[in-house]
Amino acid sequence: MICSIIPPYMLKRLAAQDAPRFSAVRRAAKEALLHVKTVQAARTAPAPVTPPGLRQVQPAPPDRSVYDAKSAESLPGVLVRKEGEAPVGDPAADEAYDGLGHTHSLYADVFGRNSIDGQGMPLNATVHFGKLYDNAFWDGQQMVFGDGDGEIFERFTRSLSVIGHELAHGVTQFSAGLAYRNQAGAINESISDVFGALVEQYFRKQSTADASWLIGEDLFTSQVEGTALRSMKAPGTAYDDDVLGKDPQPDSMDSYVRTSADNGGVHINSGIPNRAFCLVAQAIGGNAWEAPGQIWYETLTGGSLPPTATFSVFAKATAASARELFGDGSAEHDAVREAWETVKVKH
């Protein structure tokens, strides 16, 4: 399963820019789009699912390896840093190494998960993928980071929430195995945003109130009128730029986008469950990786979520997890039910 952080609708917008000064941006966006298309077939492969019992395995220390593709598109590239070695002085390689570690820490410390697959999977990443490559992705086995075009996007290792987002696709792959299409795909994307945000918040020790709830906050260059790729707190407000256009994410089912593009709108409609999680965290207060994160993690890994889950099915499953963990009528259970009501998802 290949899952990338930059939505196709954003790349298409960049590929359509005809001003001479955007020639490099246009070329980079077209190449990124072409790459996404060439790996679409991999998304149809059945995802291996880890039995729920493996969530209880004692987590092992991380086993990280970072490779340098040296602007080629062959993986993994040349090994430049492995577990326990000192920083190498390449910002992309060192940021990738640190980001893998921070992500591993969230799952091990908070959820007792033994790496991405629950069985101690080595964490591998490749940096400097392609020339001015405008994306980062999880390919089913490892992380891959482009350097960005320098006009719109910075290097993709700059954002810890992006690293956490992409690795969360691996957790989903090895647990619920959610399909990457339509509402199940939007849930898949949202779960990655949720845990990407939690990785960042856990590392920074930010409470729900202190957190930005932005995904990809450090990716845009100063030339872009925007703060991030997505806002979980206020979907549709992350950017409003002459080149990129306006953030198209809906914040409730009232503005749900029906489309065949982007596998049925997986990156657009993920704003709805994103906001639901944020509302749950705000209602409960404290640290989002605690009760809210436990509810979402239990829902994802508990074994009851079908691969083709709709928003309604997912909402019911999160409510059931909240009830199981904290009791019927608890503040946590009420927060989940009220959040889904706010975003107009039936449960």
One-letter-per-residue 3-state SS of 105-155 = HHHHHHHCCCCCCCCCCCEEEEECCCCCCCCEEECCCCEEECCCCCCCECC
Q: Are residues 160 and 193 in the same domain?
A: no
What's the pLDDT score for residue 4? 82
Counting as low any pLDDT under 70, the low residues of the chain are 1, 36-57
Measure the CA–CA gap between 201 and 153, rounded to whole angstroms: 23
Q: Are residues 124 and 188 in the same domain?
A: no
Contact in structure between 178 and 195 (CB atoms under 8 Å)? no
Domain holding 55, by residue range, is 3-173
Q: Are residues 196 and 149 in the same domain?
A: no
Which helix (H) or strand (E) segment holds residue 300: the answer is helix 291-301
DSSP state of 85: P
Q: Of 72, 12, 4, 87, give the one whose Cα is nearest residue 39.
A: 4
Task: Measure Cα distances from 330 to 60, 233, 274, 280 in Å.
Answer: 34, 23, 22, 13
- Whether 165 is a known active-site residue: answer no
Q: Are residues 62 and 126 in the same domain?
A: yes
The verdict on residue 315 lying in a domain is yes
Q: Are residues 212 and 166 in the same domain?
A: no
Angle, to 10 degrees, between the axis of helix 182-204 and the axis of helix 160-173?
Answer: 130
Q: Are residues 139 and 116 in the same domain?
A: yes
What's the pLDDT score for residue 47? 47
What's the pLDDT score for residue 300? 97
What's the pLDDT score for residue 36? 66
Contact in structure between 130 and 31 (CB atoms under 8 Å)? yes
The verdict on residue 75 lying in a domain is yes
Q: Sign (positive/negative) of CA torsion 48, 172, 100, 106?
A: negative
Contact in structure between 6 and 228 (CB atoms under 8 Å)? no
What's the pLDDT score for residue 39? 53
Residues 6+ apart with CB under 8 A from 291: 284, 325, 326, 332
Which residue of the set 31, 154, 166, 217 is catalytic?
166
DSSP state of 279: H
What's the pLDDT score for residue 45? 42
Domain count, the chain: 2
The verdict on residue 9 lying in a domain is yes
Where among 173, 203, 230 does a domain terminate?
173
The verdict on residue 294 lying in a domain is yes
Q: Are residues 189 and 159 in the same domain?
A: no
Task: Give the tokens for residue 192.
Answer: 């990655």
Which helix (H) or strand (E) segment holds residue 240: the answer is strand 240-241
Please report, for the domain that includes residue 243, its CATH number: 1.10.390.10
Q: Are residues 192 and 332 in the same domain?
A: yes
Q: Per the confidence metrics, is the pTM higher than 0.85?
A: yes
Contact in structure between 174 and 48 (CB atoms under 8 Å)? yes
Task: Measure Cα distances from 115 to 111, 112, 165, 205 in Å.
Answer: 10, 9, 14, 21
Measure the CA–CA gap between 280 and 322, rounded to whole angstroms: 11
Contact in structure between 35 and 73 (CB atoms under 8 Å)? yes
- Whether 166 is a known active-site residue: answer yes
Measure the CA–CA gap between 184 and 264, rounded to whole angstroms: 10
Which residue of the set 128, 267, 333, 347 is catalytic?
267
